[in-house]
Structure formats: C-alpha cells, structure tokens
Structure 1
Amino acid sequence: MKTFKLDPRLEADTLPLADLPLCRALLMNDARYPWVILVPKRDSVSEVFELSQEDQTQLWRETVALGAAMKEAFHGDKLNVATLGNVVSQLHIHLVVRYADDVSWPAPVWGNGSPEPYERALQGSRREQLLAQIEGLKL
C-alpha cells in the first residue's frame, strides 16, 4: 500500500490539525479567517469523481460535519466550501468561515489581500478550537 503524500504547496501553506477517517485536516496559515482544508488520503486523485463511491460519501460526510461545526463555533455569517485545484491539483476542499465584515467580504478569499500568518499564540488558540470541533464530530 502506498503512503499518502501531501502536495508540497499545501504542506507549506498550512499547519497540521488532525486525521479524519478519510481526510487530513489542515489549518490554512491565514489568520484572517477560520479556514480548514480537507485532503483525502488517497494518492493520485485530483477530482471528486476519481474517488470510490464510499470515499465520495465519506468526503461529503466529513465536509458537512466539520463545516457545520466550524460555522457554529466561530459564529460565521456564511461558510464557503470550495474545490478549485487550479494551482494544486491534489484533491482538497476548502472550508472557510466568512463574516459580513471580514476584509474580503463579499468577494472570495482568493486574490484579496495577503495572507496573515498565525503568530504562535493565535495559531494555538484557533487550532485548539478546531481540534475540539473535530473531536466532537460523528463521522
């Protein structure tokens, strides 16, 4: 069995959170938003339809459960869920909690301003909040 390998760009732009049944959960290193990236632990997959039916179901289960928990925990106005893959072809799903007064609203987070990397203290706090949400998920 092959070992799962994370795309180097995702590895450089994120901080590790947890492994779910199907996905690796990563914290995007941009303190402007609560932003998690889910990456299915499957090699050579760039599109959802390349996953088995079982994995597609599990991917959606993890996305919906974590997204709902994030929106509630961070009191968001909106949850953005996206799979782009134009820069990083490895299949990954962005879950971004948005606020009507955030720096990019109502535009997408991509291409608006520069990421603000977490300082160690802030990263720990948000990471702990997200880990608490992940631990409470029924997956």
Structure 2
Amino acid sequence: MNSEFVLHPQLANDCFVITDFPLSRLLLCNDSAYPWFILVPKIDNVQDIYQLDWQDQQQLLNESSMLSEVLMQEFNGDKMNVAALGNVVPQLHFHHIVRYKTDPCWPKPIWGQQKLTPYTDAELIEVKERLMSKLVAILAS
C-alpha cells in the first residue's frame, strides 16, 4: 500500500470520503437517488483486480463482501449491485449500489439513466452516521 495514495480526480470530484478500510478507501457517490458506495484499493497504478497480489485480492473481496452485507442490512435493498468497470476512471474501484425493485431505473443499470441528485448537507450527515455506526463495530473486532 502506498502512503502517498492519490484518489483519481473524477472520484474525488464525484464522491465523499467516508472512511478507510485496511486495503481500501470507502467513498459515497454524490447521488442521493441510490445508496451508492465505492471501494478504491489504496494501491497506485492498478486498473484491474488481477493486477493485485493474491493477498490484496482476498482482502478486497473480504471488504467488498462485508460492505455489501452492511449496506443490505442498513438500507434493506432488493438487490446489491457490485461492479468494477473502469472504462471512464481507470483507477481500480468497485461500485456497491443498493437497488430496489421500485427505483426509477429497475431493472436496468443506473449509469446514464437519469441526472444525479446531490446530497443535501443533512442527508450526507445522516448517511455517514448510519453507516459508520455499523462499520466501526465491525472494523474494531
């Protein structure tokens, strides 16, 4: 891991930093239409998961699975979408999007379907507090 880790400018512009896991930085995408989180391994010059060493691949899978479970418990979704595309932002990152059968894009992917709805300050604080209360307990154990 690089102590000089730099988040890709597009992710830095579109997201809020929530916390750091042992391997990854957890971000919240600034679209309040969906609980949409992004995990970014704090390793420079990696575009795809196969480029990580075996231990980091396993750690990323563990962090992604833990995050998925917490998000589904906290936001009570119908489906968890996890994707690592990287066509626009080459830095390896995993989208974690809680989906509902009632959401405006269901069952289609959310990309390019509708304009982003930014969080208000109050909504942002609420989401951070909801999530951090669960994550702190897990990360401390």
TM-score > 0.5, shorter chain as reference: yes
Q: Distance in 1 between matches of 2:36 and 2:132?
A: 13
Q: Which amino acid aligns with 1:76?
A: G
Name the counterpart of 1:16: 17
Structure 1: which 4+ aligned runs deviate by more than 4 Å? none
Structure 1: unaligned runs, 5 residues or longer: none
- Paired residues in the alignment total 139
- Tell me the residue number matched to 1:82: 83
Aligned to 1:64: 65
TM-score (norm 2): 0.95
State the shift of 1:86 in Å: 0.2
SS in 2 for 1:17: strand
C-alpha contact (below 8 Å) 1:70/1:133 kept by paired residues: no
Residue of structure 2 in register with 1:28 after alignment: 29
Q: In the alignment, is the contact (CA less than 8 A) between 1:48 and 1:91 conserved in 2? A: yes
**Match in the other structure for 2:110:** 109
Instruction: Give SS of 1:117's match.
Output: coil
Q: Is the 8 A contact 1:2 1:43 kept in 2?
A: no
Write the distance in 1 (CA, Å) between the matches of 2:8 and 2:129. 24
Distance apart, 1:130 and its partner CA: 1.6
SS state at 1:36 partner:
strand
Q: Which amino acid aligns with 1:57?
A: Q
Query: Residue deviations 1:93-118, cap 9 Å, x none?
Result: 00000000011111101011011000
Secondary structure of the residue aligned to 2:138 is coil
Identity of paired residues, percent? 43
1:127 Cα offset (Å): 1.4
